[in-house]
A and B are shown apart, each in its own frame.
Chain A
Amino acid sequence: MPEQKIRVLVAKPGLDGHDRGAKVVARALRDAGMEVIYTGLRQTPEMIAEAALQEDVDVVGLSILSGAHMALVPRILELLKANGQEHVRVFIGGIIPDEDAPRLKELGVSGVYGPGAPTEQIIADIRAALPGVAA
Chain B
Amino acid sequence: MELAQPILNGDRLALARLLSRVENDTLEGRSALDALFPHTGRAHLIGVTGAPGTGKSSLVNQIALHFRKQGKRVAIVAVDPSSPFTGGAVLGDRVRMRDLAGDPGVFIRSMASRGSLGGLAAATAAVTQVFDAAGFDVILIETVGAGQSEVEIARLAHTTLVVEAPGLGDDIQAIKAGILEIADILVINKADRPGVESTERALKTMLELAHPVRKVFRHHGQVMELNGEDTPDTGLWIPPVQRTVATEGMGLPELLQAIERHVAHLRSSGDWARRERARLQAEFDLILREMLVARFLANLPPKNMESMLESMQNREISPREAVYRLINENKN
Q: Which of A17-55 contact B (CB under 8 A)?
A: 26-27, 29-40, 43-44, 46-47, 50-51, 53-55
The reply to whether B88 and A3 form a contact with Cβ atoms under 8 Å apart is no
The reply to whether B83 and A31 form a contact with Cβ atoms under 8 Å apart is yes
Q: Does B114 lie at the interface of the complex (its beta carbon under 8 Å from any beta carbon of A)? A: yes
Which of B13-21, B179-187, B195-203, B308-316 is found at the contact surface with chain A?
B13-21
Identify which of A1, A5, A40, A56 contacts B16 (C-beta below 8 A). Answer: A56
The reply to whether B16 and A33 form a contact with Cβ atoms under 8 Å apart is no
The reply to whether B25 and A1 form a contact with Cβ atoms under 8 Å apart is yes
The reply to whether A35 and B112 form a contact with Cβ atoms under 8 Å apart is yes
CB-CB under 8 A from A30, the residues of chain B are 83, 86, 88-90
Q: Does A2 lie at the interface of the complex (its beta carbon under 8 Å from any beta carbon of B)? A: yes
Q: Does B286 lie at the interface of the complex (its beta carbon under 8 Å from any beta carbon of A)? A: no
Q: Does B94 lie at the interface of the complex (its beta carbon under 8 Å from any beta carbon of A)? A: yes
Q: Does A135 lie at the interface of the complex (its beta carbon under 8 Å from any beta carbon of B)? A: yes
The reply to whether A35 and B91 form a contact with Cβ atoms under 8 Å apart is yes
CB-CB under 8 A from A131, the residues of chain B are none
Q: A37-B91, A50-B101, A51-B94 are in contact. Are A3 and B25 (CB under 8 A)?
A: yes
The reply to whether B101 and A26 form a contact with Cβ atoms under 8 Å apart is no
Q: Which of B225-256 contact A (CB under 8 A)?
A: none
Q: A35-B112, A47-B101, A51-B101 are in contact. Are A135 and B13 (CB under 8 A)?
A: no
Q: Does B136 lie at the interface of the complex (its beta carbon under 8 Å from any beta carbon of A)? A: no
Q: Which residue of B lies closest to A36 (CB)?
A: B90
Q: Which residue of A lies closest to B87 (CB)?
A: A33
Q: Does B92 lie at the interface of the complex (its beta carbon under 8 Å from any beta carbon of A)? A: yes
Q: Does B26 lie at the interface of the complex (its beta carbon under 8 Å from any beta carbon of A)? A: yes
Which of B103-111, B143-151, B215-223, B295-303 is found at the contact surface with chain A?
B103-111
The reply to whether B90 and A26 form a contact with Cβ atoms under 8 Å apart is yes
Q: Does B205 lie at the interface of the complex (its beta carbon under 8 Å from any beta carbon of A)? A: no
CB-CB under 8 A from B108, the residues of chain A are 51, 54
Tell me, rounded to whole Å, the shortest Cβ–Cβ distance linking A47 to chain B.
4
Q: Which of B81-102 contact A (CB under 8 A)?
A: 82-83, 86-92, 94-95, 98, 101-102
CB-CB under 8 A from A135, the residues of chain B are 87-88
Q: Does B24 lie at the interface of the complex (its beta carbon under 8 Å from any beta carbon of A)? A: yes
Q: Which of B1-43 contact A (CB under 8 A)?
A: 12-13, 16-17, 19-20, 24-26
Tell me, rounded to whole Å, the shortest Cβ–Cβ distance linking A56 to chain B.
4
Interface centre among B26, B90, B114 (most CB of A within 10 A): B90
Complex Cα spacing A7 to B87, Å: 12
Residue count of chain B within 8 Å CB distance of chain A? 29
The reply to whether B95 and A56 form a contact with Cβ atoms under 8 Å apart is no
Identify which of A33, A38, A55 contacts B95 (C-beta below 8 A). Answer: A38
Q: A4-B24, A30-B88, A37-B94 are in contact. Are A54 and B112 (CB under 8 A)?
A: no
Encode contact with B along A50-70: 1 for CB under 8 Å, 0 otherwise: 110111100000000000000
Q: Does A85 lie at the interface of the complex (its beta carbon under 8 Å from any beta carbon of B)? A: yes
Complex Cα spacing A32 to B86, Å: 7
Complex Cα spacing A32 to B89, Å: 9
Q: A37-B94, A47-B101 are in contact. Are A5 and B87 (CB under 8 A)?
A: yes
CB-CB under 8 A from B109, the residues of chain A are 54-55
Complex Cα spacing A33 to B16, Å: 21
Q: Which residue of A lies closest to B115 (CB)?
A: A3
CB-CB under 8 A from B24, the residues of chain A are 2-4
Q: A2-B24, A47-B102 are in contact. Are A40 and B95 (CB under 8 A)?
A: yes
The reply to whether A53 and B13 form a contact with Cβ atoms under 8 Å apart is yes
CB-CB under 8 A from A3, the residues of chain B are 24-25, 114
The reply to whether B16 and A32 form a contact with Cβ atoms under 8 Å apart is no
CB-CB under 8 A from A46, the residues of chain B are 101-102
Tell me, rounded to whole Å, the shortest Cβ–Cβ distance linking B35 to chain A.
19
CB-CB under 8 A from B17, the residues of chain A are 56
Identify which of B89, B94, B107 contacts A39 (C-beta below 8 A). Answer: B94
CB-CB under 8 A from A36, the residues of chain B are 88-91
Identify which of A7, A44, A84 contacts B13 (C-beta below 8 A). Answer: A84
The reply to whether A50 and B87 form a contact with Cβ atoms under 8 Å apart is no
A-B pairs, top 5 by smallest CB distance, nearest first, are A40-B95, A30-B88, A56-B16, A47-B101, A33-B88
Q: Other CB < 8 Å A-B pairs besides A2-B24, A40-B98, 5 of them?
A: A7-B20, A32-B88, A50-B101, A54-B109, A135-B88
